[in-house]
Amino acid sequence: MKHVIRNKNVLELLEKPIEKMKREPKGIANFSNDYLRCYRDVWKVTARFNWNNEEGESWRDILRASARAEFEQIKEENDPLIIGKFLITWRDAINRMHEKVNDVNMKMTSFVDETRTDSVNQKAFDPFKDRNVM
């Protein structure tokens, strides 16, 4: 058991409530890299939204404008706890969007494969059919 509890400072840190921890604005520079990385990921994932809503507006543009507004708002924040929560929330949202878009894409692909009528009567292509293989 001694080797498990080597560093008591880490245990003390984990036992403190996060609201009572001392907050220093030193780490904000580190958040700027995460901030930009997260914003780039938002742009990458929204590029896959290429359909329009009922009013004819592109979902990609709507989602990007909404994300831009939220990212601009958090730029002014100095509290590392709030910035950290923001980044964690956005990371989770981006991951969920990736999963949902991938699921829908897989469902569409399988639906198209199952309902194709142009390949039902055709035999599968066999490149070795007419060859004399020794």
* Three-point CA angle 54, 58, 60, nearest 5°: 130
Closest CA to 83 of 40, 23, 22: 23
| Count of positions (residues) in the chain | 134
> DSSP label at 117?
S
**Please, what's the b/e burial string for 70-87 (b: 16 or more CB within 10 A of its CB; e: otherwise)?**
ebeeeeeeeebeebeebb
pLDDT of residue 124: 60
Q: How confident is the model at residue 41 (pLDDT cuts 50, 70, 90)?
A: very high
Domain boundaries, the chain: 30-109
Among residues of the chain, what percentage have pLDDT more than 70?
66
Q: Quick: pLDDT tens for 60-116.
A: 999 999 999 998 988 888 888 888 888 889 999 999 998 998 998 899 989 988 888
Q: How confident is the model at residue 11 (pLDDT cuts 50, 70, 90)?
A: low
pLDDT of residue 127: 64
